[in-house]
Structure 1
């Protein structure tokens, strides 16, 4: 069994420490005791197994860290960026680029987080997409990717006339809220049950989602049209007001 575990660990983590010499149980008991008591041998064995467990744990832990950071925190803050009164009455271009940049960073975090868990499952021969949590997470990430491409093509690049942007803006906002709802559902659906830390984290996630949804649904916090000329179509990298 130790040989099989060591061989599998070396295949999974080629950068891990070299395999320590295993104890030969067929040797004379006195020699075996001497080998087992050798500090260098025991330190090598302990270092290998600790490195194996640490790498395995860290790889999986990247999934929740990146998914929560991307699909929830970065996404939520990017969604309410236009609702901050500080952005009103100013050139919209910097805030539009910041909005697109935050969303792109959130999407990258989400994709890397998914790659981490898929790679972890494949290496450990665990089935993928077997739970409701995974289905919701995949749906949220896929819709998020489509939303970003759609938003960049319509609202950022000079491809769509103002009438089309005005028509699609409510759909863009509605889809953004729906993706946030899916993200919250995915995050809380895989938290450890009956644990103070897990329950507390779930409450914070739901509270954050409700606050963002409340800000998005408040009509008084929408960015006002500052000047009539802002409604005229202008090319990319010039101020516009949708």
Structure 2
């Protein structure tokens, strides 16, 4: 058990470091090669889109997903950590919605059609599912009026949806690092193929996102790191919980 706990915390620190690097890299990318940020319906407003989506939909979401796996939380009241879990996911959702507002407002200002790429389709579906997931979790797991039977039925659905949304988030953000869906109307935009330094940096960002996602999924899939519920046997082998224990 000691070695398993040490391994978890080593993996968790790696997860935190990778998440921080993802945020730093996506921010630096948009500052160094794309001119920085603004909120004036210009291309600089568009630059908020990848930063907010990577920060909210990947990094914050991934850390919220593994919150219940942290061993020091197991001896504390789960209700408190449910509130922390919900707050982290709400922050993630707010950042994601702001990221969508940034790109929609930019498109409207330059009369660019919305939702015309595969990236946009996957991204909007991810945020819609995320919103539904959060609201259903709020009603099912935090409402004092929620019946126990309903919670038991909702738990595997909530777990599967949580994992699916995270994978969709990774797929959507990885498509941003390839092209970032840049509109052709700005004079400051330099074609991706003619800017090898930016291309290489964006590739590193993509690798960081993949690495972060793999570490999060690895933590979620390790049943030795599941939180034991009251009345459950201590043997990790006999635990039949979902890999994404979010309840």
**1:227 CA displacement:** 5.4
Q: Of 97, 114, 117, which residue of structure 1 is paired with 2:83?
A: 97
RMSD: 2.4
* Distance in 2 (alpha carbons) for counterparts of 1:148 and 1:167: 16
SS at match of 2:178: coil
* Distance in 2 (alpha carbons) for counterparts of 1:101 and 1:166: 22
Q: Of 191, 212, 215, which residue of structure 2 is paired with 1:211?
A: 215
Q: Of 186, 201, 205, which residue of structure 1 is paired with 2:205?
A: 201
Aligned to 2:50: 64
**1:217 CA displacement:** 1.9
Aligned to 2:228: 224
Closer, same or farther in 2 for the Cα pair 1:179/1:162, shift >3 Å? same
* Distance in 1 (alpha carbons) for counterparts of 2:178 and 2:222: 33
TM-score calculated relative to the size of structure 2: 0.68
In structure 2, list runs of 5 or more residues that go unmatched: 1-34, 180-192, 194-198, 233-245
Q: Of 39, 60, 73, which residue of structure 2 is paired with 1:87?
A: 73
Q: Of 161, 167, 189, which residue of structure 1 is paired with 2:175?
A: 189
Aligned to 1:172: 158
Q: Of 92, 96, 109, which residue of structure 2 is paired with 1:106?
A: 92
TM-score calculated relative to the size of structure 1: 0.69
State the 4+ residue runs in structure 1 displaced beyond 6 angstroms: none
* Distance in 1 (alpha carbons) for counterparts of 2:49 and 2:119: 13
**Deviations 1:161-220 (Å, cap 9, x if unpaired)?**
222212221211111010000000000112236611111111111111111112122222
Aligned to 2:21: none
SS at match of 1:112: helix
Contact persistence 2:43–2:106 (CA under 8 A): no
Contact persistence 1:107–1:141 (CA under 8 A): yes
Matched, 1:156 2:142: yes
Bigger Rg, which one: 1
Q: How does 1:37-56 map to 2 (within 5 A)?
A: 55=40, 56=42
Aligned to 1:29: none
Contact persistence 1:67–1:110 (CA under 8 A): yes
**1:160 CA displacement:** 2.1
Contact persistence 1:121–1:127 (CA under 8 A): yes
**1:54 CA displacement:** 9.3
SS at match of 1:189: helix
**1:222 CA displacement:** 1.2
**Deviations 1:118-172 (Å, cap 9, x if unpaired)?**
0000101111111100000001000000000000000011232222212221211
Contact persistence 2:57–2:92 (CA under 8 A): yes
Is 113-122 or 204-213 further displaced after alignment? 204-213
For these two proteins, the number of residue pairs brought into alignment is 181
* Distance in 1 (alpha carbons) for counterparts of 2:95 and 2:111: 24
